[in-house]
Amino acid sequence: DTEVTQTPKHLVMGMTNKKSLKCEQHMGHRAMYWYKQKAKKPPELMFVYSYEKLSINESVPSRFSPECPNSSLLNLHLHALQPEDSALYLCASSQGGSSTDTQYFGPGTRLTVL
């Protein structure tokens, strides 16, 4: 099973809303990632959790708040977003700590901020 699942598939929210994106994997991977992807651009790394600890924060604004409740789950809490935050949000996972680590991506959540 090489599946990473993400919910919801689509999300529309206002600038004052609070919402959360969820990601789950059951491959026993110990590293999990959040990426943001705009149209015709490469995925842009936001956060990395390694063994349930935040290891990389790519200077992401505080209106995005990640959480890793356990090794299988990754959340991204959203609050007071801006219209320019509209994008495809991708979750990925990898074994973590391997020289031949490969990331497996979920299908993404298409976020629209009105």
Residues forming the site for other proteins (CB under 8 A): 4, 6, 31, 33, 40-43, 45, 48, 50, 55-56, 90, 92, 94, 96-108, 110
CB 87: neighbour CB atoms within 10 A? Answer: 20
Residues 25, 15: Cα–Cα separation, whole Å: 30
Closer residue to other proteins, CB minimum distance, 73 or 80: 73
DSSP per-residue string spanning 65-100: EEEEEETTEEEEEEES--GGG-EEEEEEEE-SS-TT
Closer CB to other proteins, 52 or 104, in the complex:
104
In angstroms, give the least distance from the CB of 16 to other proteins: 28
Whole-number minimum distance, CB 39 to other proteins, in Å?
10
Residue number with CB closer to other proteins (12 or 15): 12
**Cβ nearer to other proteins, comparing 49 with 64:** 49
Residue type, 4: V
Distance CA 24, CA 58 (A): 22
Smallest distance, other proteins to C-beta of residue 78, A: 19
